[in-house]
Amino acid sequence: MHAANKGFGKVLAVHIGVIAGFFILQFIVPPFHAAMLTRIMVLATYAIGYNILLGYTGLMSLGHAMFFATGLYAAGLSVIYYGLPPLEALLLAILLSAVMSAAMGAITLRTSGVFFLIVTMIFSQVFFLTTLYFNVITGGEEGLVLTRYLKPISLGLFSVELTDSAVKYNFALIIFAIAFLFSLWLTRSPVGRVLVAIRENEERAEMLGYNIYKYKLLAFTMSGTISGMAGAAYALAFAYIGSALASILYSINPLLWTLLGGAGTTIGPIIGTGLMIYIIDFTSGITTSYLIVVGVTLMLLVLAFPPGIVGAIRRRWLRWLP
Amino acid sequence: MASVDDVILETRALSKRFGGLEAVRSVDFRLERGELRAIIGPNGAGKTTFVSMISGRIRPSSGRIIFEGRDITKMKAHDRAGMGIVYTFQIINIFRNLSVYENVSLAVQRRLASGRAGIFRVDEEELHREVDAILKRIGLRDAAEQEAGSLPYGHQRLLDIGLALALNPKLLILDEPMQGLAINEIDEVMRMIRELHRERTILLIEHNMQVVLELAKKITVMDKGSIIAEGTPEEIEGNIEVQKVYLGL
């Protein structure tokens, strides 16, 4: 990795550039697109979390909605029922997501392959049904709106309201930047290298003396925690919590976004999320059977770029991309 | 040379059954520190199963394994690697999609990372120095940035052994390292094994008798899961039972 070290300036510049790009876009694009970008940044954070497990460790989960929703409900319910200010609610949500994902990882990582896929999905479905069962508290499918309960975020001398769309945008940007830079750090850290080793050849990694289970659990926990952070940001930025966000669709979504953009690339999940959300928005404006169009588009994209969009770019041109 | 009673590894009544098949039958085995021991025997003699139990890849059905005076029978494979028992696979087993440099650095990193903090931070300077030294030693310095899977077969084998070497093992188990190599490659790997032996104990499974006779001072012969003979190359060559097993006399 000595050659990569020489190129780190370039890598860092690209990543800072992405964050700066999002920052500048808010002054350029019309309000509608600013709102779209806010949504994309929050959901891209979720995809970044998912990618740590799928792209960098080689584990495919179908149960991440459980962690996204843990963050979502932890933040939303603590705001509604305990009157927690947004940042405190966010921290509580991150903490609970970490505990939840560590516990789930400890159980599900005893399986592998297809069984892992199914076991994560089953636990996630249990979580989803639980949110429906306690609909008196959670609001069930209809959900609950946080707007009335959201306190301003106090920043020392002045305070800002999360209902303000500019505040929303920059709140989402900060959350996104944290996750994005974390994933960059991880790929270059000793832990990240071992995770890639596990993805590439688990047996050999074990015979080199690495405790595979511990590393996978660590990856699972990091992945679940970031997903939970994204869920909390969703609740706070869009002032809404509901069971649909805990459904299996929200386990499949980050998988699609990550695969489309490029699993195992830092930038891929962002491209994938952005593209999918815009494709859905565009096609649903044209036809009610937009999911057919989305499906066909996805198939064509995956056929054209098997390793995902950024994965293909890296393979062909920019081999130094992390 | 090691003193006579300095036993690094010992197995007591070590057995492994796969269903009805008894692959290894109650093997008592002793290996002295500093030895270069070869294990030979026909296909299906239980050699790989035997060393796999020592490295921790396979759990024994019964019996005990003692390494440096410690009972390691129940210890996990990765912990054994951490203790200094390192195994190289019969079939070349490297990270094919990673560069040669990344391959070696994964092994070096494991050795440098001691304690908890090690998994998050490692001295990159030291890592680079050590990786470079290993690459030099296995002669793959010029191929550092190449994808490991694209190397010629013999170089992949050298890299595989290099990964083991980077862990600085006390006991190195080489499972048929010459398999599939060309004659000139065999010479290169033999030279390397000799060099490695200067600092550590080696357990070598090998089919190529010429290699075994040239490298090992002591040979253990297995057949049908049991040890049938043990001795110097000369003793083994003259052993009637060994000739029966090998030549069907």
HEC string of chain A?
Answer: CHHHHHCHHHHHHHHHHHHHHHHHHHHHCCHHHHHHHHHHHHHHHHHHHHHHHHHHHCCCCCCCHHHHHHHHHHHHHHHHHHCCCHHHHHHHHHHHHHHHHHHHHHHHCCCCCHHHHHHHHHHHHHHHHHHHHCHHHHCCCCCEECCCCCCCEEECCEEECCCCHHHHHHHHHHHHHHHHHHHHHHHHCHHHHHHHHHHHCHHHHHHCCCCHHHHHHHHHHHHHHHHHHHHHHHHHHHCEECHHHHCCHHHHHHHHHHHHHCCCCCCHHHHHHHHHHHHHHHHHCCCCCHHHHHHHHHHHHHHHCCCCHHHHHHHHCCCCCC
Contact B106 A1 (CB under 8 A): no
Contact A207 B98 (CB under 8 A): no
Question: Cα(A29)–Cα(A191) distance, rounded to whole angstroms?
Answer: 39
User: Is the minimum CB–CB distance between A27 and chain B shorter than 8 Å?
Assistant: no
Mutate to test the interface with B, among A204, A215, A216 (most CBs of B within 10 A): A204
Contact A209 B82 (CB under 8 A): yes
User: Is the minimum CB–CB distance between B98 and chain A shorter than 8 Å?
Assistant: yes
Q: Which of A194, A197, A209 sits opposite B167 (nearest CB)?
A: A209
Domain that holds residue B224: 7-247
Q: Given CA atoms B237, B242, B247, B249 in this order, what sign does their dihedral have?
A: positive
Question: Cα(A147)–Cα(A145) distance, rounded to whole angstroms?
Answer: 6
Domains in chain A, start-ordered, CATH in brackets?
2-247 (1.10.3470)
Distance from CA of A292 to the nearest CA of B (A): 36
Interface of B with A in 44-83 (CB under 8 A): 55, 57, 76-79, 81-82
Q: Which of B208, B209, B231, B211 is nearest to B219 (CA)?
A: B231
User: Is the minimum CB–CB distance between B120 and chain A shorter than 8 Å?
Assistant: yes
Question: Cα(B78)–Cα(B80) distance, rounded to whole angstroms?
Answer: 5
Q: How many contacts, defined by CB atoms under 8 Å, are there between A and B?
A: 77
**B204-223: per-residue pLDDT in tens?**
999 888 899 889 999 999 99
Chain A positions touching B107 (Cβ under 8 A) are: 208
Helix axes A31-57, A268-284, angle to 10 degrees: 130
Contact B87 A207 (CB under 8 A): yes
pLDDT of the residue at A1: 44
**B153-168: per-residue pLDDT in tens?**
889 999 999 999 999 9
Q: Does a structural domain hold residue B85?
A: yes
Helices (H), ranges, chain B: 47-55, 77-83, 100-112, 124-137, 153-166, 183-197, 209-215, 233-238, 240-247
Question: Cα(A142)–Cα(A243) distance, rounded to whole angstroms?
Answer: 8
**A193-251: per-residue pLDDT in tens?**
999 999 999 999 999 999 999 999 999 999 999 999 999 999 999 999 999 999 999 99
Mutate to test the interface with A, among B95, B112, B123, B174 (most CBs of A within 10 A): B95
A254 touches A94 (CB < 8 A): no
Residue B3's SS3 state is coil
Q: Does a structural domain hold residue B186?
A: yes
Distance from CA of B248 to the nearest CA of A (A): 37
Q: State the pTM of this model.
A: 0.90
**B123 pLDDT higher than 70:** yes
HEC string of B102-140?
Answer: HHHHHHHHHHHCCCCHHHCCCCHHHHHHHHHHHHHHCCC
pLDDT of the residue at B209: 85
Specify the CATH number for the domain of residue B240: 3.40.50.300
Q: Which of A189, A196, A211 sits opposite B78 (nearest CB)?
A: A211
Q: Does a structural domain hold residue B18?
A: yes
**B18-33: per-residue pLDDT in tens?**
988 999 999 999 999 9
Q: Does a structural domain hold residue B1?
A: no
Mutate to test the interface with B, among A207, A211, A218 (most CBs of B within 10 A): A207
In terms of C-beta density within 10 A (0-12 exposed, 13-18 middle, 19 or more buried), how is residue A151 classed?
middle
A82: CB partners within 8 A, 6+ apart: none
Contact B95 A197 (CB under 8 A): yes
**A166-199: per-residue pLDDT in tens?**
999 999 999 999 999 999 999 989 999 999 999 9
Residues in chain B: 249
- Give me the number of domains chain B comprises: 1
pLDDT of the residue at A244: 95
The model's confidence at residue A106, banded by pLDDT at 50, 70 and 90, is very high
Contact A210 B110 (CB under 8 A): yes
Q: Which two tokens stand for residue A264?
A: 């195992």
Q: Does a structural domain hold residue B170?
A: yes
Interface of A with B in 193-212 (CB under 8 A): 193-194, 196-197, 200-201, 203-212
Mutate to test the interface with A, among B55, B76, B78, B91 (most CBs of A within 10 A): B78
**A241-295: per-residue pLDDT in tens?**
999 999 999 999 999 999 999 999 999 999 999 999 999 998 888 888 888 888 8
Q: Which of A55-64, A227-236, B106-115 has the lowest mean pLDDT?
A: B106-115
Contact A206 B55 (CB under 8 A): no
Contact A196 B113 (CB under 8 A): no
Query: Over chain A, what is the mean pLDDT?
Result: 93
The model's confidence at residue B248, banded by pLDDT at 50, 70 and 90, is low
Distance from CA of B196 to the nearest CA of A (A): 18
**B114 pLDDT higher than 70:** no
**A4 pLDDT higher than 70:** no
* CA distance to A58, A272, B190, B236, per residue, from B233 (Å): 47, 64, 17, 5
Contact A190 B122 (CB under 8 A): yes
Report, as an integer, the average pLDDT of A109-130: 95
Mutate to test the interface with B, among A208, A212, A216 (most CBs of B within 10 A): A208
Report, as an integer, the average pLDDT of A104-121: 95
Q: What is the ipTM of this complex?
A: 0.87
Distance from CA of A125 to the nearest CA of B (A): 34
Query: Could you give the maximum distance between any two Cα atoms of chain A, in Å?
Result: 58
Using CA coordinates, name the residue in chain B closest to A319.
B145
**B249 pLDDT higher than 80:** no
Question: Cα(A234)–Cα(A88) distance, rounded to whole angstroms?
Answer: 15
Residue in this structure with the two tokens 């085995």, named with its chain if needed: B29
Question: Cα(B249)–Cα(B244) distance, rounded to whole angstroms?
Answer: 5
User: Is the minimum CB–CB distance between B198 and chain A shorter than 8 Å?
Assistant: no
Which residue has better confidence, B248 or A124?
A124
Distance from CA of A190 to the nearest CA of B (A): 6
Which residue has better confidence, B8 or B116?
B8
Q: Which of A112-126, A146-160, A177-191 has the lowest mean pLDDT?
A: A146-160
Q: Does a structural domain hold residue B2?
A: no
Contact A209 B57 (CB under 8 A): no
Distance from CA of B115 to the nearest CA of A (A): 12
